[in-house]
Chain A
Amino acid sequence: MKPQEPIPHNYSIRRLNMIFALSSLVLLAVTGLMVGYDYIRGWKWFQLEFMRMQQERISQEIGVAQAEENKQQLADLDAQDRKNEIELARHRDQYLSAQKELDAIEGDHYRADQDYRFVKANLDAQRYITEAAVVQHLPDAPQQQAEFERQTKHLADLQLTLQESTRKRDAAKANVDQWLKKIKDAEDKKKELTASVDLLNKQLGTVDMKPFSTNWILSQPLLDFVNPVIKIDQVVLNDLSIDMNYMSVPRVDRCQTCHRAIDTPGWESKTEAARLSKELQQKLDAYQIPQEKRKETEERIAQLKRIQDAPNDILNPWRTHPKLDLYVGSASVHPLLEYGCTVCHRGQDRATEFGRAGHTPASPRMEHRWAERTALSAGFFPLPRDFEQRHWGYEENEFIETPMYPRHYYEAGCIKCHSGQMGVDRGDDITKAEQTIEIYGCYACHKIANWRFTDLRKPGPDLGGIAEKTTPEWAFRWISEPHNFRATTRMPSFFYQRNMIDPNVVPPQERAHNVKLQDAEIHAIVSFLFDKSTHRPWSPPGAGDAARGKQLVGSVGCMGCHIDTEQVKDEKTGQIRLAKREDFPLERNYGFNLTGVGTKANPAWIYNWVKNPKAYYADAPMPSLRLTDQEAADVTAYLVTMQKPAFMNTPIRPPDAQAVHDLAKGYLINTLSDVEAEAKLRSMTQHDQLVYLGQRSIEKYGCYSCHNIKGFEGLKPIGTELTVEGSKALHLFDFGFMNDEQWKNEDGTTEHVIHTVPSWVYNKLRNPRIYDDRRTKVYNDKLKMPNFHLSPEEARRIAMVVVGLTKEKVAENRMAGRDARTRLIEEGRKRVSQHNCRACHVVDGRGRDSIASTIADANFLPPDLSPEGARAQSPFLFNFLKDPTVMKIRPWVSVRMPTFHFSDEEANTLVTFFAEAGKGQQFETSRGMNPPAQNVAIGKQVFTMMRCTQCHGTTPVNPENPPVPNTADSTSLAPNLTLARMRLRHEWISDWIRRPNEMINGTRMPTNFPRDAATGGFQSPLAMAIDTPPFAQYKATLLPLFNGDEKELKRTMGDAVALTDYLRDYIWSIGITQMRTAAPGETVPAIAMPQPSLPPPTAPALKSTRNQRGAAGNSGGPGR
């Protein structure tokens, strides 16, 4: 064969080998790097650290067990254990000999049994032979007969032997069993003695990471691929998916990878442990914890006490969730396996690194500590050394779509699922936050397409009749700075704000110019509003008594929604200072602060307004308190005395003609050429220019968003829509020059903007103009959001809701309160909130703080409506809501239920809410019931015996106007019971008599059938009393009603349930059956518009021409 020619190569094998060798090395090195990188992933450190902590904890527990005071006990245990061992050994011997004995006896028994069986078989054969012999008259019959008898006798003997043997065997067996049981008991005892130590040791084994321990070996590089000890923990949530643009992927929460103890009690922080143990102790003391759980609770308290006494506090991320009863815990409503973590907290679910998980700092200090690095790790990932310093490796990351909510904003996460509810049960923070938004009316300027914030009224009053109410001078000063007039007002400040006049921010030249422009705009707005205002003639009040008026304002219920002072005593310093909104219950800020109302409004307007607010504008939120003309005059006389003369002394600069011209032109040239605009302006008087500019300024500032202003109907609200603001990416927020900057607020506090969305929103709310700092902007481009002078707490709450409004969607089945019944209830709750019912009533267990702050005696407060659904009949409630004069239940109470002029629909919504929330039937037929005469007769006697008459009237009265009971003291007692049949639900009456204090804590209705402390059953005072001489006459009357059955009578007198049912039947029998129905949906008496014109009050500075009076009537639109 011809030797093959070497195939020519274009490459050198040698070089190739080199390359191959090199690339193999590189590959190996990369693999090694990968393994190494994986081995030192950050999250592993957290697990190792937690294992170390666990190890420490367990060793400590073992240590505690071996502590000095336990030594003795342990020694005892040891001794017992030894004794036990010896006993066990002895038992074993006993057992063995017993077993041996049993074996021998078993043998005997077997033999006896066998003998018996054989003989019995023989006997059967013999019986046959004998019988056959006898029947066939065989000759050997007698012998056979004898043989049979002999064998029978033998069998009987054997049977006796067998029986004896069986008895012996059973005894031996019992003996063996006895020793067996003793052995088992002893072994159990031994186990028990060592169980806790064993358990601890076992636990210790699982967390042991000592070199060359099993765990340690399993965790070595490469070995850890097989069966790692340290591994990622995750919860997969298929139906709480994440929207990845056009695709939904399941949520995979890996938070537990580092937050190891999140669902394990016992790793709380010291402060949490203190709070929890206090809470549990209180519950324990109040017997709110069931008997079988008490021991468990006591152990938990002891554990929490140990945490508080420990030298070191447990730090995040190893802490237990502070609200295990609500979240994460398996028995909570949001168990970890069903809800995970990121549904509420947000954050990047799959991330296992601190920075990438979306952790968000709450303060600059926190941010800086988190982000700090030791020199070694700079630029790479954090090293254990960093972690120990709690430098977690935070980096600002604008591209994390769902950063976590920082501390103080946690409850923002509730909104996602609870947006269909007015309040979140046990989510006090978010409930209050949403209420804050409602009361400030944020939704008016910023559309929030969310059930909670839609279908609400405009927060400000209608301005269509402003000239009827006040003067341009007042209005000018008011718009300039509402806070100068009232410290607690919710009207925000639009003008002379930080970005316009603050000397630290705006150069002096520009400042002077801005002031002129701002002056001009305010003059313009005032001119426009007064120019367009109606001028209805309101009848003036008659002579009023201010003292009587003051008394009325303090007693009929005004103080539920209004505040009448601006001076409060500071709780900390004890000094009198200017009031803040937060000094009062939220509900009391609902109406305006009454101080200065005499300076603001004229007497005729006040008089007509307090008489019937809806006459001024139909959408007025204030209800009618049905003041008589004289009462209204008295109230007016009082309110007129509330003056703030100093406010009217601040000078008003006249509008600068050039400024008005420039601003107006600025708008005109949007549609006209410069020349046309100039010509147009020349053709206008200054007043016309002002009115034109006013209209444009109202558009610019969005006044119409909160106030009804004629000509602006249907305009879109001025502010940015906030429906999904919480999902807006960080880079879309304009921080201006304020990133990581401190700034000083007008109230003297220093704030610090950090580069997170919550921080941006919070600082924006604290002062809406700060992001203009150091920026050069033309006048009309400057930020316009007005300043509400929010306190840090208010700003935080509002910001919390804003960041909670996200586009993240949750499957319908995970949304809270979406069933039809709950929706009905929530609709009612919305009405309750809109009409501020909680100012005067307790609804759903909350409210009444407002009115209670002005009425000292709890017995004269409006009722607690918590049990209203179970209590009131729906037809009554409907009529009463529509027109509260249909029945006066407690005529002596001076607070009046106002007339809200509810529509049928609204009244129905409320009635449905109460019935459903009280789990009552919406409609029931009890009113027509007629209790049997016998029950009524018995009930009447019980009624007398229980002395109910001492407080309750039983003679029919006019339900609309019952007489006030004539008692010597000013207090009055209890409702007239003839009204009960029209008002109360049949079943509720007896239930109420049995347990009034359980239904309404603190009620004046005494508990007449106290519960037995041991059994919880009701006790009756009549059980004993019926046999005493003073009750002889009652007994005599009652006996025939029980057919003379004294035993039955006595039994009944001790039966609280039966007695209360008789009482109910009696009360039912005396009830009236007719009641005036509510006045049909009252139409508001509109005041006729006269044609003759009234000169509007004008200020010198606002010299205006006579204006045409606009269209007559009520400019308040339907609004809803």
Chain B
Amino acid sequence: MKKFVSLLFATTLVFSIACGKGKEASKEDQGEDDETQTATVATNTASTAPAAAAPAAAVSADAATLTGMVKFEGAAPKMASIQMSADPYCQSQHGSAPAMEEDAVVGSAGELANVFVYIKDIKGNFPAPTTPVTIEQKGCQYHPHVNAVMVGQPLDIKNDDNTLHNIHALPAVNSQFNEGQPVQGMVSTKKLDKAEMTPFKIKCDVHGWMKSYMAVMPHPFYAVSQTNGTFTIPNLPPGSYTVVAWHEKYGQQEQKVTVGAKESKALSFTFKG
């Protein structure tokens, strides 16, 4: 009897001690129940953080400037003229000289325009300007052809034509929209709330030739190359960055760059046909 009681007591004791102890399962054991669960952890990169409400990134005295030149190597592609006969209005807007395609605008010395150049990997919060960026539809073409807004910055889309356009935006990250603009002079204002650094297409379904590209940036360090192939990214805080140059037809390239305080650095990109 006594033995029994003590046995019972012992078991109880073992039990209560065991209960009081923490888990001791080994590390490799812990994962096992998850053998095939593949859900990945959401990585919240700075690029998705809204730029608003951040301390204004005042232009520091040390700010550097990035300039550069985009060239096209090889025989410059000949851009076809756009057949606008489907809409007589459009055609009438280009009476003397027909409008040309803008897939690749190459200058006489190989300067490549409409290349979107931006810093890929800059961290920090940059407030979006409240002044809107404007895209105009004029003569049944988009002006400018390549453009960008900052996250949350208003985007005004204006129809200068006396014809119907619809702005059909096809972003990959932001939500797509498609609005008709039947009235001349009409302006639609849009706000894009997520960063989308690779430009997406904006098209008009009424005029199949109409297309334009738009990026949504989390920071203000971007530029579009001019017809003379140059671009300038001012007010850049000193540091090491990856610079991306994107072209709608020739893809994108990257370069690493390090800028010191007040430095002005020149880059050059070359696209091949």
Contacts and interface: CB of A to CB of B under 8 A. Distances in A.
Interface in A22-46: 25, 28-29, 32-33, 35-36, 39-40, 45
Interface in B54-78: none
A1050 to B, nearest CB: 15
Contacts of B180: 946, 1006-1008
A1007 B178 contact: yes
Contacts of A967: 86, 208
Interface in A956-1015: 967-971, 973, 996-997, 1001-1008, 1010
Contacts of B181: 1021
Contacts of A208: none
Contacts of A946: 164, 180, 182
Nearest to B7: A36
B83 A48 contact: no
Contacts of B18: 45, 383-385, 388
B36 interface: yes
Interface residues of B, number: 60
Interface residues of A, number: 74
B177 A973 contact: no
Which of A25, A221, A1021: most chain B CB closer than 10 A? Answer: A1021
A968 B85 contact: yes
B19 A49 contact: yes
A950 interface: yes
Contact of A271 (B12, B20, B39): B39
B255 interface: no
A29 B19 contact: no
A189 B194 CA distance: 42
Nearest to B164: A947
Interface stretch (B24-32, B109-117, B241-249, B261-269): B24-32
A1004 B164 CA distance: 13
Contacts of B84: 968
Nearest to A280: B42
Interface string B14-44: 1110111111110001111111110111100
B182 A1008 contact: yes
A369 B182 contact: no
A950 B206 contact: yes
Interface string A1011-1042: 00000000001101100101000000000000
A855 to B, nearest CB: 16
B182 A1010 contact: no
Contacts of A973: 205-206
Contact of A315 (B25, B35, B42, B185): B25
B252 interface: no
B42 A1006 contact: no
A29 B4 CA distance: 7
Contacts of B35: 362-363, 365-366, 407
Contacts of A642: none
B163 A950 contact: yes
Contacts of A1004: 168, 178, 205
A1005 B166 CA distance: 9
A514 B184 CA distance: 83
A209 B20 CA distance: 9
Given A28-B1, A39-B12, A274-B39, A947 B182 contact: yes
Contact of B179 (A45, A1007, A1030): A1007
Contact of A221 (B12, B24, B39, B185): B12
Nearest to A319: B33
A997 B39 contact: no
B258 interface: no
Given A408-B36, A1001-B176, A1006-B166, A274 B42 contact: yes
A1010 B14 contact: no
A389 B24 CA distance: 7
Question: Which secondary structure dominates chain B's binding surface?
Answer: loop
A383 B14 contact: yes
B103 to A, nearest CB: 15
Contacts of B21: 388
Nearest to A316: B33
A651 to B, nearest CB: 44
Given A32-B4, A947-B163, A947-B164, A390 B29 contact: yes
A313 B37 CA distance: 14
B88 to A, nearest CB: 11
A950 to B, nearest CB: 4
Nearest to B87: A950
B188 interface: yes
A313 B27 CA distance: 10
A213 interface: no
A272 interface: yes
A315 B177 contact: no
A245 interface: no
A1006 B15 contact: no
Interface in B205-240: 205-206, 208-209
Contact of A970 (B24, B177, B206, B208): B208
Given A269-B34, A969-B83, A308 B41 contact: yes
A262 to B, nearest CB: 15
Contacts of B166: 1006
Contacts of A970: 208
Nearest to A386: B18
B257 interface: no
Contacts of B193: 285
A277 interface: yes
A867 B39 CA distance: 33
A1006 B32 contact: no
A48 B168 contact: no
B23 A315 contact: yes
A1006 B24 contact: no
Contact of B32 (A365, A951, A1021): A365
Contact of A384 (B8, B14, B33, B176): B14
A1104 interface: no
A859 B25 contact: no
Interface in B93-138: none
A854 to B, nearest CB: 20
A282 to B, nearest CB: 9
A1030 B162 CA distance: 10
Most buried by A among B33, B41, B166: B33
Nearest to A282: B42
Contacts of A269: 33-34, 37
A1006 B86 contact: no
A62 B205 CA distance: 60
A947 B182 CA distance: 6
B37 A997 contact: no
Contacts of B176: 997, 1001-1002
A4 interface: no
Contacts of A33: 4, 8
A971 B24 contact: no
B206 A951 contact: yes
Interface string A38-66: 01100001001100100000000000000
A1074 interface: no
Given A384-B18, A1021-B186, A1030-B184, 6 more contacts: A269-B34, A271-B34, A278-B42, A388-B23, A945-B182, A1024-B183
Interface of A: 25, 28-29, 32-33, 35-36, 39-40, 45, 48-49, 52, 209, 211, 221, 269-272, 274-275, 277-278, 281, 285-286, 308, 312-313, 315-316, 362-363, 365-366, 369, 383-385, 388-390, 407-408, 859, 945-947, 950-951, 967-971, 973, 996-997, 1001-1008, 1010, 1021-1022, 1024-1025, 1028, 1030
The 7 nearest A-B residue pairs measured at CB: A384-B18, A1006-B180, A969-B208, A1006-B166, A278-B42, A275-B39, A947-B164
Interface of B: 1, 4-5, 8, 11-12, 14-16, 18-25, 29-37, 39-42, 83-87, 162-164, 166-168, 175-186, 188, 193-194, 205-206, 208-209
12 contacts: A25-B1, A36-B12, A270-B41, A274-B39, A274-B41, A285-B194, A363-B35, A366-B35, A947-B163, A970-B208, A973-B205, A1010-B188
